Structure 1
């Protein structure tokens, strides 16, 4: 697993014009979403700067952006990773239910063949996924599947609303898919629900796509009800998140 500084260098090597603060932001965002930086963790600029071998200025700018995205909150002016409470997740589930359905209904009318092909490929990955694989990969597949729907809906306002909740939603997916008590049940239900959405989109059934997407989103409330209230976040510190590229 590459070191934090190696990750930063990889981002900069990929695009030399990337501002340093964005590379730092990308690194911290990945650490927060994959819960290596757990909810409530204090973010000390000096410690992060030392770890990443950068000055405090790009760290400060990256943290400000994380606050804007809702992944970091401040208490008495001191930043810390945003908490995950069931109430927060319920608010997230409500927002997702509303915009997922509308976006899928619109996407069914205009989705392109290449996007359907990409969704079918992801659906195949859902089908063949098994419990022995790292569950963060499942979260990424799920995220990519829904991103295609929003891309295809063609409504910039729905796309903007999704962009706001997407970081928190991805963190929820990573969190829930790791701690959910019956993983095989989650795998099976996710594949069935996403298959129904895909077939509605493929056949351009707008109302059906909307209903299926809302039914999939409604499963989030059921998941929230059964995931543990207390989680030992130490289990996430040993997971390899190097394949996750945000």
Structure 2
């Protein structure tokens, strides 16, 4: 498999600290992955990346380790490190996991929703809308993660928070694929209004129903996009429901 190139940086990396080397590499590779410049399955060769970024392999490996933890990159013995592929089965699993996790998060956080929670939810929603208005797809993905992440932060459930953190990378890929499926530069501007209204309301059952509907929207089109683009070629067989 031929290694894909990432955009070269205009910043003089030699002047940066070791920690900033890592942060810069992570940012560049993450951006290339989410934009599709590094498509699913692209191999990341350490020697080539070290030369391209003009760094030693130390900070490069640290950067790759962070991307692995984020769920954007995987290392497989004898095959190397590459961008993860997102199959139709992955999309379905992400959907079912998110519904379960976020419903549970709201159950845990429901009585904790004070004025600070409400203000922060509205602030994060405003940030998301601003990124959409700016046409900044990558920023909108991160803003959407921050919006949905608030309820996990408010839940006070540490294991739930760690589980959410481990899912973020695949969600970024899922949303990037979803946006390409709809030929848009971010989610719909009004796409989170009902979510925010339910999260600020007094009916937990209505919040659960909104979550199911919110996460269902666009799922079928995303699956169709993955199939049509050939990104679902490594799809895992569907498991029998118990």
Using structure 2 for the length normalisation, give the TM-score.
0.74
Distance 1:52 1:141, change over 3 A: same
CA RMSD of the aligned region, Å?
3.4
Q: How does 1:111-190 map to 2 (within 5 A)?
A: 111-124=113-126, 133-180=135-182, 183=184, 187=188
Count of residue pairs the alignment pairs up: 223
Corresponding position: 1:27 with 2:32: no
Name the structure, 1 or 2, with higher relative contact order (CA <8 Å, separation 6+).
Answer: 1
Q: Deviations over 1:80-133 (max 9, x none)?
A: 111122122112112111101111233332123233223224445666887883
Shift of 1:153: 1.9
Q: How does 1:25-174 map to 2 (within 5 A)?
A: 25-75=26-76, 76-124=78-126, 133-174=135-176
Structure 1, unaligned runs of 5 or more: 234-246
CA contact (8 A) 1:32 1:38 kept: yes
Using structure 1 for the length normalisation, give the TM-score.
0.73
Q: Secondary structure at the match of 1:227?
A: helix
CA contact (8 A) 1:109 1:204 kept: no
Q: Secondary structure at the match of 2:75?
A: strand
Q: Deviations over 1:57-86 (max 9, x none)?
A: 221232234334432223414111111221
Shift of 1:5: 6.0
Q: Secondary structure at the match of 2:74?
A: strand
Shift of 1:200: 2.6
Name the CA distance, whole Å, in 2 between partners of 1:195 and 1:97: 18
Shift of 1:173: 0.9
Select the structure that is richer in helix.
1
Name the CA distance, whole Å, in 2 between partners of 1:7 and 1:105: 48
Among 209, 220, 223, the alignment partner of 1:222 is 220
Q: Deviations over 1:111-165 (max 9, x none)?
A: 2323322322444566688788344344333222102222122211211111011
Distance 1:139 1:109, change over 3 A: same
Shift of 1:56: 1.5
